[in-house]
């Protein structure tokens, strides 16, 4: 409750500042907010006699009109209507502004049904914002009408805020509940700081021109189709939350990539430990292949590693013939490689010997 009293006093100070600057409507609004935060606030002690007569009387008149009803808009004299062209605006400009300002429902302001789609809301905003933009419409209160159209579009084009507004049912209650709940939903510890940063600065942070620029800027047909490009500075918190979610998702993808790379490395390492079957023979004598053998048909020398070779591949058997045939093919292939090297060297030295070429020629003729 102490936090509400402090915020109510802050609201009274803002009302006094607004009244001093000549913005009576804004001052009345902050007085009503202060009364909601603290119904027992002593306004008679906090306001001077001039401020009481100028602010409280206007606020009382507004309360008599009832919630959700539009305040009375002064009518333009008939003799003044004929001079619209001289002032840079037409009677149509005045009518559009008057029709928007007398409505106290966002759907009515945009001229759409409550079950309309987002695309219909965008079309309505495109049409009305061009009609009441202060640069195009010079009629009195055109800026207020432009702000109302922007607020309606900003609220109804977002699914969450539209759902909240449908539950509230009133523009004033929606703005109050939405901004005040933003300042208090994080708990009592951060309530006061959050309330000051989001609730009291809502009017200052809301920029209808920013929404207008975001909507009409960036494409060849002068229409900006990104649904969430328009925002107020008060929505930065939601954008930071989205950045944090994207960071978490990015970290998850990075971890998955690292796991895939690690799996590949482990697979390669596992392959190194898989036992590899050694060949049955070698054309070169090594520490492993040290037992000499000779093929029966061509007399090619080769080496084996087992004493049981004769038992496993007895002479005259089909397995022994297959082994010796493989030995002959490997030996012939080796001579072919050596012969190719000798022929290359023979191009530089014509008397260079060619023993491997001679052996290859001799065994080819025998085969």
Determine the Cα–Cα distance for residues 158 and 322; give it in Å rounded to an integer: 80
The pLDDT, as a whole number, for residue 3 is 60
For the chain, what percent of residues have pLDDT higher than 90? 17
pLDDT at 22 over 60: yes
What does the domain layout of the chain look like in residue ranges? 2-75+87-241, 242-276, 291-366
23-66 pLDDT, tens digit per residue, is 778 888 888 888 887 777 777 766 766 666 666 665 555 544 44
The pLDDT, as a whole number, for residue 219 is 42
Mean pLDDT of the 144-173 span: 85
Looking at beta carbons, which pairs linking 202-211 to residues 24 or more positions away fall under 8 Å? 202/175, 202/232, 202/234, 203/26, 205/232, 205/233, 205/234, 206/147, 206/150, 206/151, 206/154, 206/232, 206/234, 207/232, 207/233, 208/146, 208/147, 208/149, 208/150, 208/151, 211/150, 211/153, 211/154
Tell which wins on pLDDT, 307 or 198.
307
Mean pLDDT of the 144-168 span: 89
55-105 pLDDT, tens digit per residue, is 666 555 554 444 444 444 445 444 444 445 556 789 999 999 999 999 888
Mean pLDDT of the 220-237 span: 44
344, 330 contact by CB (below 8 A): no
Determine the Cα–Cα distance for residues 85 and 300; give it in Å rounded to an integer: 116
Q: Which two tokens stand for residue 295?
A: 């093929």
| CA atoms within a 13 Å half-sphere pointing along the CA-CB vector of 242 | 6
Burial class (CB in 10 A: 0-12, 13-18, 19+), 346: middle
The pLDDT, as a whole number, for residue 101 is 92
Torsion, Cα of 67, 146, 98, 70 (10° steps): 0
The pLDDT, as a whole number, for residue 189 is 45
Q: What is the CATH number of domain 2-75+87-241?
A: 1.10.287.110
84, 90 contact by CB (below 8 A): yes
């Amino acid at each position: 409750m102490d936090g509400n009293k402090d915020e109510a006093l802050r609201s009274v100070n803002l009302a006094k500042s607004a009244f001093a600057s000549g913005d009576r409507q804004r001052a009345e609004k902050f007085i009503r907010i202060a009364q909601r935060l603290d119904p027992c606030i002593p306004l008679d002690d906090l306001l001077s006699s001039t401020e009481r007569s100028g602010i409280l009387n206007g606020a009382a008149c507004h309360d008599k009109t009832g919630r959700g009803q539009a305040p009375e808009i002064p009518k333009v004299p008939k003799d003044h209507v004929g001079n619209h062209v001289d002032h840079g605006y037409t009677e149509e400009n005045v009518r559009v502004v008057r029709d928007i300002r007398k409505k106290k429902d966002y759907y009515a302001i945009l001229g759409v049904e409550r079950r309309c789609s987002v695309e219909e809301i965008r079309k309505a905003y495109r049409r009305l914002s061009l009609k009441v933009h202060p640069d195009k419409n010079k009629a009195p209160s055109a800026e207020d009408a432009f702000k109302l159209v922007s607020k309606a579009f900003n609220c109804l084009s977002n699914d969450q805020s539209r759902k909240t507004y449908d539950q509230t049912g009133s523009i004033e209650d929606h703005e109050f509940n939405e901004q005040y709940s933003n300042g208090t939903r994080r708990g009592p510890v951060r309530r006061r700081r959050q309330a000051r940063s989001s609730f009291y600065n809502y009017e200052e942070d809301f920029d209808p021109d920013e929404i207008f620029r975001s909507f009409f800027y960036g494409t060849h047909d002068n229409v900006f189709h990104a649904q969430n490009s328009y925002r107020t500075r008060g929505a930065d918190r939601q954008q930071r939350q989205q950045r944090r979610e994207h960071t978490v998702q990015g970290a998850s993808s990075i971890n998955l990539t690292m796991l895939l790379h690690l799996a590949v490395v482990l697979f390669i390492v596992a392959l190194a430990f898989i036992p590899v079957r050694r060949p049955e023979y070698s054309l070169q004598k090594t520490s492993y292949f040290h037992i000499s053998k000779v093929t029966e048909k061509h007399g090619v020398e080769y080496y084996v590693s087992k004493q049981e070779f004769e038992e496993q591949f007895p002479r005259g058997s089909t397995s022994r013939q297959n082994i010796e045939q493989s030995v002959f093919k490997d030996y012939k292939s080796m001579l072919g490689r050596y012969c190719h090297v000798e022929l290359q060297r023979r191009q530089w030295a014509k008397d260079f010997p060619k023993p491997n070429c001679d052996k290859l020629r001799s065994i080819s003729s025998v085969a």
